[in-house]
Structure 1
Amino acid sequence: MEKIILDCDPGHDDAIAILLAAASPNIDLLGITTVAGNHTIENVTRNALSVCTVYGITVPVARGAEGPLLIEQVIAEEIHGTTGLDGPYLPPASFELDPRHAVDFIIETVMANEPKTVSLVPVGPYTNIALAARKEPRIIDRVKQVVAMGGSYTRGNITPAAEFNIYADPEAAHIVFSAGWDVTMIGLDLTQHQALATPELQDRVKAVGGDISQFILDTWEFVHTTHSGLLDIPYPAIHDACCVAAIIDPSILTVEKADVRVELEGRWTKGQTVANFESASGMRHFGGTASEQTDYRTNVAISLDWNKFADLIVESTQTLTDARA
């Protein structure tokens, strides 16, 4: 069983990632931490608590960073609505937050477990993860892996060059990618173009029946409406669940090794993730000099086994539904 901390900013796709993590028999969900991203820290934390309340998920939920390390906060209200999770009905949460700050929760949880047994799964801006690594650098060697939603090796979504999670806190992303631990970057190239809630998948989820099925369908319906006016994709993207799915079954991804850097200064490219692939010929060093060594340590997700991914979504819906029967 894989131990994970899910660091998120719910967010419609975050909510589905929570459900997938809670349902999988292969995942030991040690806790959920929240970070300002898709919406304010108040809203995303409330949404995380509400999802856990409604669907009987009893793990610690710790509130985290209220904004990025250096820049002004940006939110994705145009995608996620005024609450951060508009569309599906969510009643108020009925249990309290963990008293610890998310950064301290991450540090204490990693240090309390055996080395190389806890994976961090950030699916919002990487602020909490970066702060934890800076506050307690020993976690870098103890963490098994970081499986992160964010970035792109082709193009962005909030700007032509940058993906939202990286753009929202590029300095934090820089810290995470350069820290020295194992990182898998699952970016837009995969999530926005391969991990889509197709009509076939929606029909399979609908066939499960029950309120969890309806919640998932309602999230997809709302996001499809907002996506349709902003993004050139035919169906809702299930971004964040890809990270959880990759831990449940690593064979679901095809990856390539790359040296990933985050652009921090470009007028038009700030927040861009620049991937130098090990398989590429020609340029071997960023900057063109041997003094800045290329580190092909990051696993960049290239392709998704759609059938396996869809099966996991349906199975998790059925598992949670059966548990409530």
Structure 2
Amino acid sequence: MIPLLIDCDPGHDDSMAILYAARHFELRGLTTVFGNSIVENTTRNALKICELAKLDIPVAGGMGAPLVGSFAPSMIHGASGLDGADLPEPKRLPVDMHAVTMIIEQAKKAEGELVLAAIGPLTNVAVALRTEPRLARWLKCITIMGGSLDIGNASPYAEANILKDPEAAAAVFSCDAEIHLAGLNFTRQAILDRSHAELLRQAGGAVPETVAGMLDFYLGRNEARYGKPISPMHDPSALVPFVRPDLVEHRAFHIQVELASPLLRGMTVADQRNVTRRPDEPEPPRANVKAGIRMDGPAATRHVIETIASYGRG
């Protein structure tokens, strides 16, 4: 199994990603960051998910604010960041280690093998890269749920995880690590709806039934905001390509994060031109990101839901 560390801000879709990962990867731990709620809540939510699924992995709390400015929690997940689920209270505390330290130590321990899944704002990852310059080459790759090759969601141009800390995202995108991107253009191809919640209920067991409740709440919030009780399968889509590469297609792009423009702040600007360079033109910047462009959405959602349903079978 591929060793994996998840940096997250649970979060309904983060929770699904954690449960999915525990079945398909060697899950080394969870690090938490602000985002869907304050970091105290996201850390507690991560511990609750571990308690629910009986995952014996370390959880380390991390950064509580962006590198520049402040942030507003994404209320689509509710006040706790994980409303709508009757989760068990955690029996243990976070480890006595900062998330940044855990990222560095786990990468060093599994040099060249560890996949770092960053499915929240990229603050922890940026600080870890700044703290330990060798981190980029220690990692096998960083897989990010964030950004978009087309329209945004937190603004017309920016996706929420990137917009919550654009400076951190810019630092991560400019590092020397191999970066895989599951942007909104990719995650919107895999749609969750109420039929998926019903499939989980039919599976039975504490984990599937709890996730069904989470989905009910989350889809209801999406219906109130967007008019339909559906949601893209955001965070698990950053992990599916490692397990089911047959379901996806990626393409390499040079991507930068816009920082200067108030209108475009947080936009992931991808050079998607397919042109032949003239002799008098400078070399274009090298591609720095492998971005998802196509996914068999129905097959991917079925695969993830079946994985979570498997918890009901022990």
Larger displacement relative to structure 2 (224-233 or 162-171): 224-233
* Equivalent residue, structure 2, for 1:62: 60
Pick from 258, 274, 280: which aligns with 2:274? 280
Indicate how the Cα distance of structure 1 residues 174 and 232 shifts in structure 2: closer, same or farther if over 3 A, else same: farther
Structure 2 counterpart SS, 1:69 = coil
Checking the alignment, whether the CA contact within 8 Å between 1:39 and 1:75 is kept in structure 2 is yes
Is the Cα–Cα contact under 8 Å of residues 5 and 115 in structure 2 kept in the other structure? yes
Match of 2:164 among 134, 157, 168: 168
1:263 matched to 2:289? The reply is no
Structure 1: where are the runs of 5+ without partners?
none
Q: Secondary structure at the match of 2:239?
A: helix
Letter in 2 for 1:9: D
Alignment of 1:217-296 (within 5 A): 217-231=212-226, 234-277=229-272, 280-281=274-275, 290=282, 293-296=284-287
For the pair 1:81 / 2:72, whether they are aligned, the reply is no
Q: Deviations over 1:258-286 (max 9, x none)?
A: 00000001111100000113x623789xx
Cα distance per residue 1:110-157 (max 9 Å; x no partner): 1112x3200110000011111111100111111101110000011111
Judged with a 3 Å threshold, the aligned counterparts in structure 2 of structure 1 residues 233 and 71 are, in CA distance, closer, same or farther, namely farther
Compared CA separation, residues 6 and 144, structure 1 to 2 (3 A): same
Q: Residue in 2 aligned with 1:37?
A: 35
SS at match of 2:275: coil
Query: Does 2:291 match 1:300?
Result: yes
- Partners in 2 of 1:70 and 1:282 — Cα distance? 39
Query: Which residue type is aligned with residue 258 of structure 1?
Result: F
Report the equivalent of 1:94.
Answer: 91
- Superposition TM-score, scaled by structure 2 size: 0.94
Kindly report which structure 2 residues correspond to 1:102-117, keeping only aligned pairs within 5 A, or say none.
102-113=99-110, 115-117=111-113
Alignment check: 8 A CA contact 1:190 1:301 kept: yes
Residue 295 of structure 1, CA deviation: 1.7
Residue 316 (1) aligns with residue 311 (2): no
Q: Deviations over 1:49-108 (max 9, x none)?
A: 01111210110100011111112122102x011111010111321112111100000101
In structure 1, what is the equivalent of residue 183 of structure 2? 187
For residue 202 of structure 1, report the CA deviation from its aligned partner. 3.6
Percent identity over paired residues: 33
Verify the 8 A CA contact 1:263 1:270 in the aligned structure 2.
yes
1:17-63 Cα deviation digits (max 9, x unpaired): 11101122xx1001100000111001110100011112101101000
- Mapping of residues 19-38 of structure 1, within 5 Å: 19-24=19-24, 27-38=25-36
1:225 CA displacement: 1.4
**How far apart in 2 are the matches of 1:136 and 1:301?**
28
Distance 1:251 1:110 in 2: 27
Q: 1:199/1:164 Cα in 2 relative to 1: closer, same or farther (>3 Å)? A: same
Secondary structure of 1:5's counterpart equals strand
Cα-to-partner distance string for 1:191-238 (whole Å, 9 max, x where unaligned):
1x2121134434433321222222121111111111123236551222
Please name the residue that 2:124 is paired with: 128
Q: Report if the CA contact (8 A) 1:12-1:85 is conserved.
A: yes
Contact preservation (8 Å) 2:49, 2:87: yes
* Other-structure match for 2:148: 152
Partner residue of 1:143?
139
- Superposed displacement of residue 168, structure 1: 0.1
| Cα root mean square deviation, aligned | 1.9
- Measured in 1, the distance between the counterparts of 2:256 and 2:228 equals 27
Structure 2: which amino acid aligns with 1:56?
K
Describe the shift of the 1:281–1:87 C-alpha distance in structure 2 as closer, same or farther (beyond 3 A). same
The letter for the 2-side match of 1:16 is M
**Map of 1:10 onto structure 2:** 10
State the secondary structure of the residue aligned to 2:269: strand
**CA distance 1:275–1:234, change in 2 (3 Å):** farther
